């Protein structure tokens, strides 16, 4: 039994999807009728995939920059699925969703932002002043401002 050369074994097991079965004439006609910027973007997408395959060893690995490229391309170009061969379109959509989850997790992290903390000494002083029956929030706020301690009235 003959063993195939390494390049053929890799090509047989490559995770790439098979391009659609178009004849050369119909593909050329379609390219002639498409806008120039569409062809330039498709060429950029295909070159990016070639670069990933050139730097890959046994299995193509996409770096975070490659994933970001496809996420941005999927948001900016409506035909982004056409040149995509290395991964499934659902994978690119999953990268986009994961990116948004990370973004909002960072934005809503507890302990970040919000009103600045009030020193413990100021809180004790406010509690002592609140025991005076005729002093409301505006009076306490005025007293704190005169002492140089900034506080909100509410």
Question: What is the CB neighbour count within 10 angstroms for residue 60?
Answer: 17
Does the pTM of the predicted model rise above 0.75?
no
> What are the domain boundaries of the chain?
30-107, 118-154
* Range among 35-39, 94-98, 118-122, 146-150 rated most confident: 94-98
Confidence (pLDDT) at 19:
56
pLDDT digits (tens, 9 = 90+) for 14-65: 455 555 566 778 878 877 888 888 999 999 999 999 999 998 777 888 999 9
> For the residues of 95-144, what is the DSSP string, one character each?
HHHHHHHHHHHHHT-TTSSSSPPPPHHHHHHHHHHTTSTT--HHHHHHHH
């Amino acid at each position: 039994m003959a063993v195939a050369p390494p390049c053929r074994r890799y090509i047989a097991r490559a995770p790439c999807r098979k391009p659609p079965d178009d004849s050369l004439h119909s593909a050329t006609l379609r390219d002639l009728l498409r806008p120039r910027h569409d062809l330039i973007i498709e060429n950029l997408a295909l070159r990016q995939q070639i670069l990933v395959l050139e730097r890959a060893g046994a299995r193509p690995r996409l770096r975070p920059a490659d994933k970001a490229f496809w996420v941005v391309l999927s948001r900016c170009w409506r035909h982004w699925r056409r040149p995509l061969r290395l991964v499934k379109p659902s994978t690119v959509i999953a990268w986009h969703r994961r990116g948004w989850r990370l973004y909002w997790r960072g934005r809503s992290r507890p302990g970040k932002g919000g009103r600045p903390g009030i020193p413990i000494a100021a809180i004790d002083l406010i509690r002592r002043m609140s025991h005076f029956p005729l002093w409301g929030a505006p009076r306490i706020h005025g007293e704190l401002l005169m002492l140089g301690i900034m506080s909100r009235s509410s």
